[in-house]
Amino acid sequence: MTIRVLLADDQTLLRQTFRMLIEANPDMTVVGEAADGAAAVALTREHRPTVVLMDIRMPGVNGLAATAAICADPGLVATRVLILTTFETDEYVAEALHAGASGFLGKDVSADALLAGIRTVAAGESLLSPAATRALITQFLATTEPGVPAGPAAPLSALTAREREVLVLAAAGLSNTEIADRLVVSPLTVRTHIQRAMTKLHARDRTQLVVMAYQTGLVRVRPRSLG
């Protein structure tokens, strides 16, 4: 199945570079380009891409607002947003994930890593660069008192013990394959547990599951681990 990509960035040269890189792969195609957030939302509704490669800083409607609009549209539930920016700050990462973004990469990412990221997000998994992961955890530490959930508690009681175990490992940043190796099961089994947890917790994707793990206190990070 071909991965349909929409490019949203105000730099024409960068969009052209991304287009050449993406369309050099037989499993991907670029269905449109947008120079601002408003156009990104409109073109996403028109073309219904698999993945929107979204810059944050654009004129008019920025990438965060565009991401929120796309992810809130019930007609675009199959579309994933991958944020690509130079600004991997605590505030931007938290806002992007809260808006519903499925991934977050820095613009200094390699070509291979970018293509792998698009495929990962298209498959329904989350993608956070090390800087973005650190920023997300820092944000939770800054806004949450020890032992107090950062938001409304998700119904974690609906999860089985194994699903909780998988969720904890996913929140630690492990891939399905790494989790499978840790638990001595198949990657398909891990994927099934992730999907069931998403259904039970009404999460849009794996990224929201990770956020819920922190919000509910299922996963806690010690401040000294960030030093």
What pLDDT digit, counting tens, does each position of 165-198 carry?
Answer: 999 888 777 778 889 999 999 989 998 999 899 8
Do the beta carbons of residue 104 and residue 97 sit within 8 Å? yes
Size of the chain in residues: 227
Confidence of residue 123 (pLDDT cuts 50, 70, 90): confident
| Residue 224 in tokens | 């000294």
Q: Which of 62, 1, 9, 13 is nearest to 32 (CA)?
A: 9
Q: Are 131 and 172 in the same domain?
A: no
Domain count, the chain: 2
3-state secondary structure of 24: coil
| Domain identity same for 37 and 65 | yes
Q: How confident is the model at residue 146 (pLDDT cuts 50, 70, 90)?
A: very low
Residue 124: is its pLDDT beyond 50?
yes
Q: Indicate the range of 151-155, 178-182, 211-215 predicted with least confidence.
A: 151-155
| Cβ atoms within 10 Å of 16's Cβ, excluding its own | 12
Mean pLDDT of the chain: 82
Annotate 50-67 with DSSP letters as a single string.
SEEEE-S--SSS-HHHHH
User: For position 212, which CATH number holds?
Assistant: 1.10.10.10
Report d(CA 213, CA 164) in Å as an integer.
9
The pTM of the full predicted model, rounded to 2 decimals, is 0.68
Q: What is the mean pLDDT of residues 16-34?
A: 96
pLDDT over 50 at 150, yes or no: no
Do residues 123 and 152 share a domain? no
Helix (H, G, I), strand (E, B) or coil at 28: strand
Q: What is the mean pLDDT of residues 52-72?
A: 92
In which domain, by residue range, is 114 found? 3-138
Domain boundary among 119, 138, 157: 138
Judge if 13 and 118 occupy the same domain. yes
Q: Which of 138, 158, 183 is the last residue of a domain?
A: 138
Within this chain, do residues 45 and 64 fall inside the same structural domain, yes or no?
Answer: yes
Do 114 and 163 fall into the same domain? no
Same domain assignment for residues 20 and 128:
yes
Within this chain, do residues 7 and 102 fall inside the same structural domain, yes or no? yes
Residue at which a domain ends, from 83, 113, 138: 138
Residues 163 and 107 in one domain: no
Q: Is 162 a residue whose pLDDT tops 90?
A: yes
Does one domain contain both 93 and 39?
Answer: yes
CATH of the domain at 90: 3.40.50.2300
